[in-house]
Amino acid sequence: MNPFTYSHATAVDDAVRDKASHHDAAYIGGGTNLLDLMKENVERPTHLIGLNRLPLTKIQNDPEGGLRLGALATNADTAWHPEVEKRYPLLSQAILAGASPQLRNMATNGGNLMQRTRCYYFYDTATPCNKREPGSGCSAIGGYNRIHAILGTSQSCIATHPSDMCIALAALEAVVRVSGPNGERTIEFADFHRLPGNAPHIDNTLRPGELITGLDLPAKGFEKNYSYLKLRDRTSYAFALVSVAAALELEGNTIKDARIALGGVAHKPWRDTDVEDALKGQPATADTFRKAATQLLQGARGFGSNDFKVELAKRAIVRALKQATEMKQGPTEAFLNSNP
Amino acid sequence: MSQYTNYIGKPTNRVDGPAKVTGAAKYAAEFNVPNLAYGVVVSSPIAKGKIIKVYSKPVLKIPGVLAVFSHENVPNLAWFDRNYKDDVAPGGSPFRPLHDNEVKFSQQPIALVVADTFEVARYAASILEIEYEEEDHETDIELKRTEGFMPGRGKSGWMPPPPPRGKPDKEWKKAAHRIEHEYIHGAQHHNPMEMFATTTEYHPDGSITAYDKTQGVYNAQQYISKIFGLSKKQARVVTEYMGGGFGSGLRPQYQLFMSVMAALELKRSVRVTLTRQQMFSFGHRPYTLQYVKLGTNPDGTLAALQHHALHETSRFEEYTENVVNWSGMLYQCDNVKLGYQLAELDVYTPLDMRAPGAATGSIALEIAMDEMAFEAGLDPVDFRIRNYAETDQNMKKPFSSKRLRDCYHQGAAKFGWEKRNPRPRSMRDGNMLVGWGMAGGVWDATQKKSAAKATLTADGRLEVSSATSDIGTGTYTIMTQIAAQYLGLPIEAVTFKLGDTDLPEAPLEGGSWTAASVGTAVKNVCEEMGKKLLKQAQKMKGSPLKKAKFDDVEFVNGQIRLRLDPDQAVVIRDVLQASGKEKLEAETSATPNMLKQMQHSMHSHNAVFAEVKVDEDLGTVHVTRVVNAVAAGRILNLKTARSQVLGSIVWGISMALMEETIMDHKFGRYMNHNYAEYHIPVNADVRDLQVLFVEEEDEVVNPLGVKGIGEIGLLGVAAAIANAVFHATGKRVRTLPVMIDKLL
């Protein structure tokens, strides 16, 4: 870890100005990921701007009937917030599938979006990694890649985005509010994270100095039919091998609207709106779900140790959609959701 | 009146519990001696090659940096290998930190940066530039299958496999039912919660006190005194508490060397703490390939048994463990062939890890036994009982005691095994497949020479001490119980001290031998003290014990009294006061009764029953129930013993389902070297665990009749779970751990 200076920001503008005035500055909220990365010498900011005094911790209704989540509300406060539990239970479930209670108590909503990949090679400075050191090469390709991506990969990176919360946010089509040197703007969730392409060191579409101030959840919460299914190597406190945020709007047994977002399979929460559109008007049956799953994974490819993810993702999609349809917790789900 | 000072066997709370939960218990990195400097280790990014240059200069300019130590400037130290050998060093040439410019394994310690503060040392270490010349490395045992060799030297406690008996090849070919399979398990690292650390306090006279994390203070003391030319007086080693060991603290680790070396060079106290990542740099349970062939006769008895193992070792030491020998004694079989080989790789030397060898071997043997039972159409418990070994065929000796049969019966009854439908895929819970599997194991009951000291003071308090360790298992507590019972004192009046080379010598804490070895020394020293007390008691005016011999009296409830006439008694405190002495002291040691022990095979056994629920579609496995029936002689403390076995079961779940250190052979480097990606069970993975102790009376193993329970609980757990997965799914997974992808 390198020496760094530290300042508290008390207003969003101050934070943004402070960032602009330093060369290698970083914002810090809960610090649950940044601190690790600094200890591993993956990130070496020379100045940290503490955000926890900013007035961005509120969770409140917005005029359009949605819900606004403050960027500094903790993951725990968000997951257990009565409005979130009632109107966006998919989001609650996804948050609670991630990390541990201690981490969720520290981690903030804005920070959750900023999590970096858990690729072994990214974390180990002894090995080449294009995301950490552009141009040095990708060690995961041809290496041990059990936890790596199967969709949207590039020749320079097969890392995955590690968040659970973001998978639900993608499914719910949240909007990210940011503040920067040039004022405020909003980013559609689908546009926030990016695919690696030939610039895997860039995780998202934030412009230099921009700060996440909040997340807007649209009015539609799919609170009647939803499921967050997370598959991993132990029952809690492990990143997803594959996760699925599934949300359905049903009329009888007919699908009126559907959202499917995948975690653990790509550099960003993975959605395919064509597949979702194709589900509209279809009966909510295993057959329909299987077709959707196959279609969603059409371009998927494994890299050796993660080959199994292609099939696992298909099965997980089918199961998640089934759970969303039936809204009954079977024995498996009792185990998988025994987390909080 | 009840004998309230009878503590042995009682479920007694940990005497060190309050110190641990209040933070009063200090660990190696918590001794804040004055004027402390901090050392941070720089580890090699390459697996093999040469260090060309260590660019220390820029780092030395950083304010607060005191020194950069590497092979370029390490002081002249002992020359011969023997000076670097510790009590459990395998044959070969021990690794010497900072010795020369050779890199022998990835994460090898290359340099130590010392500074006034930890933060400066860590920063300086992060920018220290080191130039390497990389050479080709070999780390993949799969490519060394044909290059295995029989170790020539071994290490203490290792036994070459016994020679073949009968006609194992011929009888296997003739057998009514046969199986032959390969079983594989990858490397595992101990990963105790507490990171390895040493705080070396430098005294003005040039002597040192090393607060070290070690399972043997005497072993660590001998190591540093031989390397640095210190007398034993000049090198005191202290380990009062340990946040877990599992074998990782058996050998002195390099932070001890680094800390002592820097302290002696800088003439200043120095602390070196390893990082979690560096916890993957000094020894592991070796990657092991095993091959088992079994054959049965029509009546379900074993016709032939063959078990071969090949595992990795380093280029510089021949690490050995007993992997296959157990297979020649756990079951009755007259046609047996056992094979054991090592393969050299560019890795650090493997290291004893809880039930070393047996944990590995039992996985292969016990999955194979399950396969054999299935093939022969026999119930797995019934099959084992049909092949029950009444004598140890390896040693051709009777067992000192063995109630494994009762473990099978009592474990099965507790589990409800009789309700098992033998057909795979026959049991369900909703959409989940349910599987019931079982397995078992065996471990040595060993006693080693051990010494102890006792001091009884006028206030009636007893302090007993021995330089053993408590690696979290309850040594403090059981020794306190033994001492309190043998001198008939209330447990609150007894203190046990350990982990200090100023105390009488005890063996390394390992091999499940501490309770037997140190416990017997504690018993002996208390009897010595008892004799002294009796003598003083007899001097008292009107003493009712005047004519009593030692065997005529008992020490109970704070009194010495006649066994046959308990009303004739004196209070122990009164004896001391009447004697006019401030204290009474006794010191003695305990050695095994070799005459008795040589004639017997001494072992603990267990039988494990596991239930799994498998979501076949998603490949998830949950262990819902485990019953572990353990026969390990006399149990000293039901509470701490149960905790140890619970921990074993959790580790067994880990071995079966998730735990493995993964190496990328391109780099010859372990890649999941952190707690996030090196998976061990969390609470949600641990469900209903039940422990049964089948007590044995055994006068051969030691006078206390204890066999030790540190290892035995782990055996059979992983195999029982793997067998349960087969019963649930019909899929046999022979490469553990059983992860999602293996069941899809």
A17: domain CATH number is 3.30.43.10
A144 and B657: CB-CB below 8 Å? no
Asked whether residue A149 is assigned to any structural domain, the reply reads no
A315 and B658: CB-CB below 8 Å? no
A319 and B432: CB-CB below 8 Å? no
**B312 token code pair:** 């990795």
Domain span at A41: 5-52
pLDDT tens-digit map of A247-261: 999 999 999 999 999
Gap between the Cα atoms of A25 and A4, Å rounded: 9
List Cα–Cα distances, A193 to A115, A161, A240, B21, B113, in angstroms: 11, 9, 18, 44, 40
pLDDT at residue A331, rounded to an integer: 66
Tell me how close the Cα of B198 comes to any Cα of chain A, in angstroms.
21
| β-strand partners of B622 | B613
Give the burial string for B114-147 (b: 16+ CB within 10 Å, else e): bbbebebbbbbbbebebebeeeebbbebeebeee
pLDDT at residue A340, rounded to an integer: 39
List Cα–Cα distances, A333 to A92, A231, A327, B721, B742, in angstroms: 15, 11, 11, 21, 20
Gap between the Cα atoms of B113 and B285, Å rounded: 30
Q: Are A77 and A104 in contact (CB under 8 A)?
A: no
pLDDT(A330) > 70 = no
**What percent of chain B is predicted at pLDDT more than 70?**
100
Q: Are B309 and B323 in contact (CB under 8 A)?
A: yes
| β-strand partners of B306 | B293, B337
Provide the number of structural domains found in chain A. Answer: 2
pLDDT at residue B340, rounded to an integer: 98
pLDDT at residue A328, rounded to an integer: 84
pLDDT at residue B50, rounded to an integer: 98
pLDDT(B157) > 70 = yes
List Cα–Cα distances, A69 to A73, A104, B312, B336, in angstroms: 7, 15, 53, 69
Give residues with Cβ within 8 angstroms of A122, minimum separation 6.
A42, A116, A129, A131, A132, A159
Asked whether residue A179 is assigned to any structural domain, the reply reads no
Question: Out of B171, B321, B344, B711, which one is annotated catalytic?
Answer: B711
- B contact test, residue of A145, A146, A235, A310 with most B CBs within 10 A: A235
pLDDT at residue A73, rounded to an integer: 98
> Residue A264 gets which letter from DSSP?
S
pLDDT tens-digit map of A88-116: 999 999 999 999 999 999 999 999 999 99
Asked whether residue A276 is assigned to any structural domain, the reply reads yes
Q: Are B723 and B438 in contact (CB under 8 A)?
A: yes
pLDDT(B155) > 90 = no
Which amino acid appears at position B377 of this protein? G
Gap between the Cα atoms of A306 and A300, Å rounded: 11
pLDDT tens-digit map of B259-295: 999 999 999 999 999 999 999 999 999 999 999 999 9
> Scanning the structure block, which residue is given the tokens 């063995």?
B402
Identify all chain B residues contacting A340, using CB atoms and an 8 Å cutoff.
Answer: none
Average pLDDT over residues B424-437: 96
As a whole number, the mean pLDDT across chain B is 97
Nearest to B102 by CA among B128, B63, B74, B132: B132
Cβ–Cβ contacts within 10 Å for residue A64, how many?
Answer: 10
Nearest to A52 by CA among A126, A107, A92: A107
A266: domain CATH number is 3.30.390.50
pLDDT at residue B2, rounded to an integer: 66
Report the residue from B429, B680, B684 with minimal CB separation from A338: B684
Asked whether residue A59 is assigned to any structural domain, the reply reads no
CA B249 to chain CA centroid, nearest Å: 9
Give residues with Cβ within 8 angstroms of A297, minimum separation 6.
A150, A151, A310, A313, A314, A317
pLDDT tens-digit map of A128-179: 999 999 999 999 999 999 999 999 999 999 999 999 999 999 999 999 999 9
Asked whether residue A292 is assigned to any structural domain, the reply reads yes
Domains of chain B in sequence order:
17-24+448-591 (3.30.365.10), 31-136+192-275 (3.90.1170.50), 143-188+284-446+598-743 (3.30.365.10)
Alpha helices in B325-377 (DSSP H): 358-376
pLDDT(A21) > 70 = yes
Asked whether residue A177 is assigned to any structural domain, the reply reads no
Q: Angle at which helices B217-228 and B254-266 pack, to 10 degrees? A: 50
**Ramachandran category for residue B7: left, alpha or beta (phi over 0 → left; psi -120 to 50 → alpha):** alpha
A124 and B666: CB-CB below 8 Å? no
A235 and B682: CB-CB below 8 Å? yes
- Residue in B closest to A2 by C-alpha: B123
A336: confidence class by pLDDT, cuts 50, 70, 90: low
List Cα–Cα distances, A216 to A85, A111, A187, in angstroms: 16, 15, 10
Which sign does the torsion angle of CA A177, A178, A184, A188 carry? negative
Report the residue from B123, B619, B684 with minimal CB separation from A236: B684
Tell me how close the Cα of A238 comes to any Cα of chain B, in angstroms.
7
**B650 token code pair:** 């959790």
pLDDT tens-digit map of B568-620: 999 999 999 999 999 999 999 999 999 999 999 999 999 999 999 999 999 99
pLDDT(A339) > 60 = no
- Residues of chain A with a CB closer than 8 angstroms to some CB in chain B: 1-3, 40-41, 118, 120-121, 123-127, 139, 142-144, 146-147, 231, 233-239, 241, 308, 311-312, 315-316, 319, 330-332, 335-336, 338-339
Report the residue from B277, B671, B674 with minimal CB separation from A144: B671
Which amino acid appears at position B446 of this protein? T
Cβ–Cβ contacts within 10 Å for residue B226, how many?
Answer: 18
B182 has catalytic annotation:
no
Asked whether residue A147 is assigned to any structural domain, the reply reads no
Q: Are A309 and A317 in contact (CB under 8 A)?
A: no
Identify all chain B residues contacting A3, using CB atoms and an 8 Å cutoff.
Answer: 119, 123
Average pLDDT over residues A326-334: 76
Phi, psi of B264, deg, nearest 5 = -70, -40
What is the maximum alpha-carbon separation in chain A?
Answer: 61
pLDDT tens-digit map of A57-74: 999 999 999 999 999 999
pLDDT at residue B680, rounded to an integer: 97
Which sign does the torsion angle of CA A104, A107, A113, A117 carry? negative
Asked whether residue A30 is assigned to any structural domain, the reply reads yes
pLDDT tens-digit map of B694-710: 999 999 999 999 999 99
Average pLDDT over residues A334-340: 58
| Polymer length in residues for chain B | 744
Concatenating the DSSP letter of every residue in B447-510 gives ---EEEEEEEETTS-EEEE-S---SSSSHHHHHHHHHHHHTT--GGGEEEE-SBTTSPP---S-
pLDDT at residue B309, rounded to an integer: 98
| β-strand partners of B570 | B560
Gap between the Cα atoms of B200 and B651, Å rounded: 33
Tell me how close the Cα of B343 comes to any Cα of chain A, in angstroms.
23
The ipTM estimated for the assembled molecules is 0.96
pLDDT at residue B287, rounded to an integer: 98
Gap between the Cα atoms of B52 and B45, Å rounded: 14
> Residue A84 gets which letter from DSSP?
H
Q: Are A24 and A58 in contact (CB under 8 A)?
A: no
Tell me how close the Cα of B632 comes to any Cα of chain A, in angstroms.
32
